[in-house]
A and B are shown apart, each in its own frame.
Chain A
């Protein structure tokens, strides 16, 4: 395989990241997807669009989010490490964003694009509910009607977020098809879109789906890595040695990684959800999947030998998706980013560790990243730096965690 001049020049003009990505949608949607791409190109080149995006991120979302040196966690992880080992752990604090996760960055970008395109109705899918809440939030902010598709299983396990979406004025439609989780919600979102092409904008929540979504979501989320890179240079005078982020569809991870991809000395680690274990039920598409076509793109999918999609499992509803963004599939195949996984149990341990050492209650999604950080830090020297994305806060997860720990609240 030839090494590209830049890892940041993807996708090609057909939306392909190597063999992945593309526009695998029904003909009804194809003209819309092409139109969206044209409008996105124009918006990207328009300083006024960028100015409005930046202004909202600063004054509405609360950016830039802090870069935080987690000294107590660092010390805790050095306990039991070999002499001289135990890297410094730093966090990008995207859990401090308005609505509590990185999801809002992308929603701001997409709703500005929807308005620019004259669309008057917004739809979205959600798993854990974070993207649904972020979408409902921007719809309230801009006065657009909003329908959120959410798997009926997820509606039950994420009641607080369902209530938040309703408070924000969104209509939450439970989806009972399939396992009634995120992929089924995405199917229903696509069905709605195909039937309402004239007025509806589909705000996809992760860096997946038909081109230009993976590129567009990545660009909107790249604010995470762009800020973090500048903040790290300002604070320490150097770049981190390792970036770590959790991966469901992979939008927070690609947002952190992308601005660093051409920094050859910065290693990167994406952490998938290993659920009950990679030999049991899990949601690790790269570790346990194979290339295939779903939801508009070619990528790694959990599937059987006939190409039927299998159900993912993770304690984290936000990682419970049988696919992954196509850029991650490409970055893995060319070897630029390493991917690993953390189980439900490891994520729960990491969740509690962060609560106790830093006074931060993380969401279950970044708890997977923290689990990987805990392992990696001990293998790295004390002078090395790990930067992990704390992509969401854990308020939404306290019921799930309580149940997993056998606590009644």
Chain B
């Protein structure tokens, strides 16, 4: 069983959603990211999404745009992102790590090179924002070759006719982007999330994680009652932006609050 599969299986056994935490690699500096990732794990994050900084983060709102700028201003290179992943893997052999970002930095040296480098660094999955299923051959086959899960995004605009194409070739989990919009701004209505998760679950056995606009433990708990995973990004990135080198303690406490909410979420209903 892959690290991703076992984490979702383990969460399911505990009747709770997995907590998926996003930070941008190299924010505020490449050297500071390791301690932030450790804080995520200590706080109770089940899966790490490590953002690859890019000059043109077209799908991101102001908080993650700012994180990208901070990271690149600190001189973060692709080699640093891979080193952060590799060192994380050495410290946390069991915690899944997913790289998330945009196509150009991933394919710059060739998709084969990237897939092999990510595999060597112990990466479990890749979410590429701007490679839809129609362009899968730009990266997907090379990832699968290396045993890395290409994680697909489904959105409120992904209709029933299109969903099979999105799910074909997906692995790891399905990331449901609950808002038609950019990261970090608004949250979707709970009812629309519940409908979407039900629709996705009817179409795939892969775990369904829900993200975009999730900030408070209450929101996380609500989503965690129906989804297999809850993704939190902008709120963490804002803490990093605000506290810089002192961010780990703040991040740990925040993640603890989310994790506790997810642990309790389904009990409240039952």
Contacts and interface: CB of A to CB of B under 8 A. Distances in A.
Interface of A: 14, 22-32, 34, 177-178, 183-184, 187, 190-191, 194-195, 197-198, 292-296, 298, 301, 303, 305-309
B164 interface: no
B72 A190 contact: no
Contacts of A28: 59, 155-157, 177, 180-181
Which of B131, B162, B185: most chain A Cβ within 10 A? B131
Given A27-B153, A177-B65, A295 B58 contact: yes
B58 A191 contact: yes
A183 B56 contact: yes
Given A25-B130, A26-B58, A308-B55, A294 B166 contact: no
Interface string B111-150: 0000000000000000001111111001000000000000
Nearest to B66: A177
A238 B133 CA distance: 47
Nearest to B57: A187
Interface residues of B, number: 43
5 contacts: A25-B130, A26-B153, A187-B56, A191-B182, A293-B102
A293 B138 contact: yes
Contacts of B55: 178, 308-309
A292 B107 contact: yes
B192 to A, nearest CB: 14
A309 B104 contact: yes
Nearest to B134: A23
Contacts of B159: 31
Given A25-B132, A293-B107, 13 more contacts: A14-B134, A27-B132, A190-B59, A191-B58, A191-B61, A191-B182, A195-B182, A293-B138, A305-B108, A307-B78, A308-B54, A308-B72, A308-B105
A32 B157 contact: yes
Contact of B154 (A23, A27, A190, A307): A27
B135 A22 contact: yes
Which of A177, A307, A309: most chain B Cβ within 10 A? A307
Per CB-CB distance, the 4 closest pairs between chain A and chain B, nearest first, are: A307-B108, A195-B181, A307-B105, A293-B103
Given A183-B56, A293-B104, A30 B78 contact: no
B135 A24 contact: yes
B56 A309 contact: yes
Contacts of A308: 54-55, 72, 104-105
A306 B135 CA distance: 21
B130 A24 contact: yes
A296 B108 CA distance: 16
A313 to B, nearest CB: 15
Nearest to B156: A28
Contacts of A31: 157-159, 162
B190 to A, nearest CB: 20
Interface string B65-81: 10001001000011000
Given A293-B130, A307-B107, A26 B59 contact: yes
Contacts of B59: 26, 28, 190-191, 194
B19 interface: no
Contacts of A294: 56, 104
B106 interface: yes
A354 B72 CA distance: 43
Contact of B58 (A190, A298, A303, A306): A190
Nearest to A188: B58
A27 B155 contact: yes
B7 to A, nearest CB: 24
A239 B126 CA distance: 52
A229 to B, nearest CB: 34
Contacts of A197: 157, 180
A249 to B, nearest CB: 15
Contacts of B157: 27-32, 197
A134 B96 CA distance: 50
Contacts of B182: 191, 194-195
A32 B154 CA distance: 14
Interface string B152-193: 111111110010001000000000010011100100000000
Which of A22, A28, A303: most chain B Cβ within 10 A? A28
A205 B23 CA distance: 34
Which of A34, A296, A306: most chain B Cβ within 10 A? A306
Nearest to A211: B134
B213 to A, nearest CB: 12
Contacts of B153: 26-27
A305 B77 CA distance: 9
B56 to A, nearest CB: 5
Contacts of A30: 132-134, 157-158, 162
Given A28-B157, A31-B162, A306 B132 contact: no
A271 B10 CA distance: 60
A195 B212 CA distance: 12
Which of A14, A178, A294, A296: most chain B Cβ within 10 A? A294
A29 B177 CA distance: 12
Nearest to B81: A306
Contacts of A26: 58-59, 129-130, 132, 153, 155
Which of B54, B162, B181: most chain A Cβ within 10 A? B181
Given A14-B134, A26-B130, A309-B56, A194 B105 contact: no
Contacts of A307: 54, 78, 104-108
A147 to B, nearest CB: 15
Nearest to B152: A27
B142 to A, nearest CB: 14
Contacts of B61: 191
Which of A26, A190, A191, A295: most chain B Cβ within 10 A? A26
A17 to B, nearest CB: 14
B108 A24 contact: no
